[in-house]
Amino acid sequence: MSRKLALAEGEAVRTACARVLLRTGLDEASGEVVSRAVLAERVGWCADLVAGMVGSLLAGHWNAADVGVLASGRDASGRRLPSNAWMALRRLGWATTVPEGVRVNDRIVRMAQEQAGRVLRSVKWRVDLTAGILTTWPADPRKRTGVEWEQLRAAIPGGQGLASSVIKGRTRQAAAFLAANGRLPVDVFELEGVPRVARMLLLAACDRQQATIERSETDPGRVLLRLQLPTRADPRSYRDWTWVACPINLPPTVPASAVLHLPTLRVTGGTVRADLAYTHPVPKAKHVGHEVALSVDWGLNTLLSAGTLRLGPDGRITALGAGGQFRATGVLAKQHRLRRQSERLHTKADHYQRLIGGDQQHDLAGKHTVLRDEIQHVSARRTNLNDALAWSAARWTVDQAIAATATVIYLEDLRSMEATGMGATMNTRLSQQVRGKIADRIRHLAAEQGIAVVTVPARNTSKHCPQCLTPLRHRKAPDQPTVAGWKWAICPHPSCGWQGDRDHGAWQRIAARGLTHQAKTAIDKTSGHMVIRSVVDTLEAAAVVTPTAKASGMDRSKTGPTARKPARPAPRRRRAPSPTRPHSRAGKRPEGHAPTDRKLPRAAHRHQNVTTTSTPTTGHQARGAALGAGFHLHAHATPPRWETIPEPTPNSRSLS
């Protein structure tokens, strides 16, 4: 298979990853079918051999000198080190030893060196971060002054764009070491031990003598992966290694023209899972020249608020529609419950550990093992829930951009946002948000459509009016204009009078700032993402949204209570005809009638702590979102439908 990808004009290369399962295999030496359990066992034997060699490599080079040499990219003679980690380690002479009596080929050693080299290269970032924190240790680690923050960010490479939460986390880690030992650690290697080694096989470091992958010529959705696996846990000779052919069914997201790469194999729950990387051409995202932009504002209960703006030829910016929302209150409440459960389990497990000490025959040793297993189970649930929420929110965002024909998505740069001053419960919920994962997923999905994703400064996006840039007055609700709050925003300027939801005004400000500053878009050298680093006053003055005119002269202002509508005279009709079935004694349900026996799942009737969800608004009671009845009943999203909706004139000042 050719691994070169031919690109046309206006195309770029996109590398993605698909998760697949290895359900069975065929031993080519004996002709026997390898079951799922046997395949997982043989892959696990090979992964154990690799993990043992990786552990010895990390233990021998887990120090500042060796990590600095590898991160410098130069060997002792000044030559540039190869990009492949296993080749760089061999150039430096960092070899690994195979267990005595075990025979493996050179490709197995390559996988071990590749995995160890990646870990040692990645630790360099933590080395610089910890060194910067230790050299600028503040007088009060719990609260740095402005000068101390500036000194710290100047001491860390790339510290100006580093999230404050990362710095605070490392500071707490060093403070715990100080409290336990009476002194600060020397470096990160004293602060952290040798990391755990993951049981996996990096087949990308091998060649055709260890693994091959070929796509079926008749069915593009099927792939054949061939690799050598041991027939015993301690192979004594090369005869204990045989070729195993594993058919793989590709998901429909992998294009038929994509170039496939050797995957990474992991054994999870008795099943072999493969992370299959593939490369395919996509439309190239442009930096400038955007006319229609989708912007996203982050929230708490309303996780995402999004809308589109259009930049006209005359420089005027107008809104397209009223925007949409992605609400995930129930999902975040469930995540909050799992976090509290995990904290209780950790506290109990730590107490058992103190009681047990080093005695493995203690009566509580069995209970401690059960608690550790339960902690891993709860952690897996939290991880899966975060992944599902991130993919769902990212898919919704990109679908909104596609429906609006937007060529760019503007996101707030919230790396410096801190969850403080809102109470312990609210601060914890803010810190548990999956904004970083959602942003990564948005970039991943938007690249497939050629849509650019740009982060813009978030300063004052919720403070100023989107139509006149006047500082807003925040109130509790539109019908309580004198009660201070944060949800509803009102512009005090007499000639403007704009008012609306705080998040609704924020996404307009984000999109307007991005459209006017798009000439300042740059590529971040560290992450490779498109960013707008700073706000220019002259451009910011033009980042105002021009209100659209009314569709008619009728005043739609809210002047009194809404008139009650009569009850529906007929039941809700089905949108699709009934399925065709053979007639039975009970007959067939007539078309057009909705089933009357729909009930929420039993999980919807569970009790939920009131502190984890917001108070339902008048007229809307979430059925499953706030009651814990599954992911899709937890999340509510606006459908991707965009139309130009007339807005009230600037001087109407209505509360509707």
In SS3 terms, 408-446 reads as: EEEEEECCCCCCCCCCHHHHHHHHCCCHHHHHHHHHHHH
CA angle at residue 557 from 555 to 561, to 5 degrees?
Answer: 125
Residues 176 and 208 grouped into a single domain:
no
- Per residue in 15-35, pLDDT (tens digit) is 999 999 999 999 999 999 999
Q: Which of 229, 255, 282 is the last residue of a domain?
A: 282
Please give the residue that has the higher pLDDT: either 40 or 636. Answer: 40
pLDDT tens digits, 512-564: 999 999 999 998 887 888 999 888 889 988 988 988 765 555 666 667 787 78
One-character DSSP codes across 454-473: EEEE-TTTTTB-TTT-PBPE
Out of 235-249, 343-357, 375-389, 556-570, least confident range: 556-570
Based on the domain organization, do 473 and 443 belong to the same domain?
yes
Domain that holds residue 514: 292-326+396-541
For the chain, count helices (H), then strands (E). 14, 22
Same domain, 448 and 525: yes
User: Confidence class of residue 569 from pLDDT cuts 50, 70 and 90?
Assistant: low
Quickly count: other Cβ atoms within 10 Å of residue 554's Cβ: 7
Domain-embedded: residue 508: yes
The answer to the question of residue 212 being in a domain is yes
DSSP state of 299: -
Flag whether 466 is in a domain. Answer: yes
Q: Give the count of domains, the chain.
A: 3
In whole numbers, what is the pLDDT of the chain averaged over residues?
Answer: 83
Please check whether residues 180 and 272 belong to one and the same domain: no
- The pLDDT of 100-123, averaged and rounded, is 93
Whether the CB-CB separation of 514 and 308 falls below 8 Å is answered with no
Last residue of a domain, one of 541, 569, 591: 541
Q: In angstroms, how far is the first alpha carbon of the chain from the final one?
A: 62
243 belongs to a structural domain: yes
Q: Given its phi and psi angles, is residue 576 left (phi above 0), alpha (psi -120 to 50 degrees) or beta?
A: beta
- Domain assignment of residue 469, yes or no: yes
Same domain, 436 and 490: yes
Q: In this structure, is residue 302 part of a structural domain?
A: yes
Alpha carbon separation from 451 to 177, 407, 499 (Å, rounded): 46, 5, 31
Same domain? 302 vs 405: yes
Domain boundary among 526, 541, 556: 541
pLDDT confidence tier of residue 269, bands split at 50, 70 and 90? confident
In a domain, 576, yes or no: no
Amino acid at 176: A
CATH of the domain at 517: 3.30.420
One domain for residues 95 and 229: no
61 occurs within a structural domain: yes
Domain match, 301 and 248 both: no
pLDDT band at 240 (very low <50, low <70, confident <90, very high): very high
SS3 of 617-639: CCCCCCCCCCCCCCHHHHCEECC
Q: Are 265 and 182 found together in one domain?
A: no
* Band (624; pLDDT cuts 50, 70, 90): very low
Angle 80-87-89 from CA coordinates, rounded to 5°: 85
Q: Are residues 88 and 160 in the same domain?
A: yes
Same domain, 125 and 163: yes
Q: Are 178 and 311 part of one and the same domain? A: no
3-state secondary structure 548-610: CCCCCCCCCCCCCCCCCCCCCCCCCCCCCCCCCCCCCCCCCCCCCCCCCCCCCCHHHHCCCCH
* Closest to 212 in 3D by CA, of 178, 246, 183, 241: 246
